[in-house]
């Protein structure tokens, strides 16, 4: 699937950033917390559910891939930019992974939202927005820009990212 890199400028005046990056309200009973090594299997199941056919073929392979992400295979994790959303039962229902790209990686050196997914029953309830805003706030503590990859066919994600100030790399934001 074709993907586009989108960039958001985080160097605007503090009032603009505070307004655009105000924490989003979460559904009742949902909490955000840092992703830990013990979350790899739950995140892998979530990725398989949210992106069937794209996130690996089986739970063991997907869990190993998530473990590599958390170990920094694609770059150093951005503090406070790798989060899970959990429901009242403690089940992982959404996650975001933000990294500093490895040296020599394609694109800019800006922090990269590498993965974002929400369980299908929870989609459209603001979890993706809350996670991306949290990732952007974390990135703003370290950089003037943040980048995100989006599938060209994912209109809802593209709309969300545009509303948060993302624009195609190389265009004015």
Write the CATH number for 118.
Answer: 3.40.630.30
Would strands 3-9 and 31-34 be described as parallel, antiparallel, or unpaired?
unpaired
* This prediction's pTM: 0.89
- On whether residue 144 sits in a domain, the answer given is yes
Residue 109 — very low, low, confident or very high, per pLDDT cuts 50/70/90? confident
- On whether residue 173 sits in a domain, the answer given is no
Q: How far is CA 22 from the centre of its chain?
A: 16
- On whether residue 105 sits in a domain, the answer given is yes
- On whether residue 65 sits in a domain, the answer given is yes
Residue 111 has pLDDT above 90, yes or no: yes
- Model pLDDT, residue 11: 83
- On whether residue 158 sits in a domain, the answer given is yes
Q: Which residue range(s) make up the domain with 158?
A: 3-168
d(CA 158, CA 26): 21
Q: How far is CA 44 from the centre of its chain?
A: 15
Other beta carbons within 10 angstroms of residue 89's beta carbon come to 7
Structure tokens at 5: 């890199």
- On whether residue 102 sits in a domain, the answer given is yes
| Structural domains counted in the chain | 1
Q: Is 25 or 31 the better-scoring residue by pLDDT?
A: 31
Tens of pLDDT, residues 44-88: 999 999 887 665 578 888 888 889 889 988 889 998 999 999 999
DSSP class of 105 = -
């Amino acid at each position: 699937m074709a993907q586009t890199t989108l960039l958001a400028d985080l160097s605007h005046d503090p009032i603009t950033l505070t307004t655009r990056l105000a924490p989003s309200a979460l559904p009742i009973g949902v909490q955000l917390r840092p992703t830990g090594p013990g979350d790899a299997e739950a995140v892998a199941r979530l990725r398989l559910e949210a992106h069937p056919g794209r996130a690996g073929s089986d739970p063991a392979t997907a869990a190993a891939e998530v473990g590599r992400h958390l170990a920094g295979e694609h770059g150093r994790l951005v503090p406070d930019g790798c989060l899970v959303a959990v429901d009242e039962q403690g089940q992982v229902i959404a996650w975001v992974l933000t990294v500093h790209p490895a040296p020599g990686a394609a694109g800019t050196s800006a922090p990269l939202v590498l993965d974002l997914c929400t369980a299908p029953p929870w989609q459209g309830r603001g979890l993706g927005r809350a996670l991306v805003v949290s990732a952007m706030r974390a990135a703003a503590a370290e950089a003037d820009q943040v980048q995100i990859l989006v599938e060209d066919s994912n209109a809802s994600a593209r709309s969300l990212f545009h509303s948060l100030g993302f624009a195609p790399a190389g265009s004015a934001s």
